[in-house]
Chain A
Amino acid sequence: MAKVAVVGAGMTRFVRRAQETGRELSWQAAKMALDAAGLRLKDVDAVVIGSAPDAFDGVHMKGEYLADGSGGWCKPTLRCYVGGGTGVFAPIQAWYHIASGRFDTVLVVCEEKMSSCHPHPQGAFLTIFDHTTERALGPNLLWIFALEMNRYMTVHGITKREIAEVAVKNKRNALDHPCAQLGANLTVDDVLASEELAWPVNRLDVSPASDGAAAVVMCSEHVAKRTSPQPVWLEGVGWHLDTAYWTNRDLYYPQYLEYAARMAYDMAGIKEPRKEIHIVEPYDPFDYKELHHLEGLLLCKRGEAARLTVDGVTQRDGDLPVCPSGGLLGVGNPIAAAGLMKVCELFWQLRGEAGKRQVPGMPRRGLAQAWGDLMQVGTVVIMGI
């Protein structure tokens, strides 16, 4: 298989309300990624845009709307979408643009401007539920997560206190991220004492609504070797669905992710993920989802992720650093941009450019993951130097 590299990354600050339009946010991130790669727009052969529901920005056909700010002027341009999984799905699209041999250099831009949706982007989710069996009950998005979190806690005997450690860790890590929206020094008690939204989910268990964009530049092997002092290679990609009916999933275990992870590990030739992956950026829109996803990624046994967290294994200086960026809980969650932020983080970490967030010990391989659609899609990339 042809080798594909990431050679540049960029992102805007993640904020609750940006004055910039979605196009302007996209341009800021894309320009930064190109500048970092030492490339110009004319060097780009094709563009991949990732953005979640049109209903967030309030612009129908958002891919077309974002195209000029994403560098799509007079270029082959594609917009992809798998809900929250989009941010890690977009570089996978770019991967096969390049692995096919058709393109050498692809610009990937992910954007979300959730503040447009008023009074809260939660409103955009009200119509994702089945209009025959569920919408008549007036469900909101938190129900899904609350039901899933409860199932996960109960099956494994995990406490809210243990899960809250994830929020504390990620928000603290985010204090070192210059683009972060919600970096904070909190205690587990602060999380437990925060407003109860839908038991067992409290306010500080949840990532915020955000505006922002992120971008990466990806290249074929011969272009990467010519233009980049340190390409970061895409060693594995995986994406997979589970059933879209949540009543046909157990919810205690993210099967969608195990399928996606196995696909990526197989491509990367990884036999023992726990030993061969040095940094993980799992999707953490809720604190329990980081744990859920570590298990789905086969990085620990089912029900074991909380223990690893409490023992400090997942701290930035731990044996398996998880969300050294600060994750969605700390950096923020402009949906598609948040997933690609994780890919950017691996790029900076593996090149030793993560500054105060740098994971010690010169990590050589990392994994980024996102989750979304109707909560049944997993998207995974494995990157290494």
Chain B
Amino acid sequence: MLSKLTTSAQTRQWPGHIPVEYVYTAGIAGEAFLRALKDRGMLLTSQCPQCQTVYLPARLYCEQCFEETKQYEEIAPKGWVHTYTVAHVDIDGEALAVPQIYAFIRFGGTNGGLIHRLGQTQPHQVSIGMEVEALLLPGKERTGSINDITCFQPTK
């Protein structure tokens, strides 16, 4: 039947939306991770006492062994590019004025990593394996968010 409708005015329609809003918590381990980032500019890891996996960001439990990951340790936010992409259009399909580089960054001695922006560089200068470090907001401007890291940049 719809195939015979040539304009939406031919059928009764009305707009609607699903009106829900959320307040999220970071959780037990996530809260500690965000505090380390905000207060000290460090990345918090946690280690499984059984299989020795080091989670970054820190987690409350080991998903493999189901043990509580009690040993927490902070590391400097310096790592390397595991893989990356260069976004040229935004979510609406509009061309970005400046292409944005997004990278999966790994850190020594840990499992996991972070997805974040790459900055202070150009797409043609980026390569897999290049060393990067976090560019942090000044301490007073940090809110306890992953965006306290402005971006990762090539290690100086």
Contact = CB atoms under 8 A, between A and B. Distances in A.
A102 interface: no
Interface of B: 16, 18-31, 60-61, 63-66, 68
Contacts of B29: 24
B66 A41 contact: yes
A34 B66 contact: yes
Contacts of B63: 68-69, 73
A24 B27 contact: yes
A24 to B, nearest CB: 5
A348 interface: no
A27 B28 contact: no
Nearest to A72: B63
Contacts of A124: 20
Contacts of A19: 25, 27-28, 31
A58 interface: yes
A40 B31 contact: no
Interface of A: 18-21, 23-24, 27, 30-31, 34, 40-41, 55, 58, 68-69, 71, 73-74, 115-119, 123-124, 126-127, 131, 135
A106 to B, nearest CB: 15
A237 B13 CA distance: 43
Nearest to A119: B21
Contacts of A23: 27
Contacts of A117: 20-22
A58 B28 contact: no
11 contacts: A19-B28, A21-B25, A21-B28, A27-B61, A41-B65, A55-B20, A74-B64, A116-B23, A117-B21, A123-B19, A123-B21
Nearest to B68: A31
A73 B28 contact: no
Contact of A21 (B20, B26, B64): B26
Nearest to A41: B66
A21 B61 contact: no
Contacts of B60: 20, 24, 27
Contacts of A123: 19-21
A69 B30 CA distance: 14
A40 B66 contact: yes
Given A117-B20, A117-B22, A127-B18, A21 B66 contact: no
A19 B24 CA distance: 9
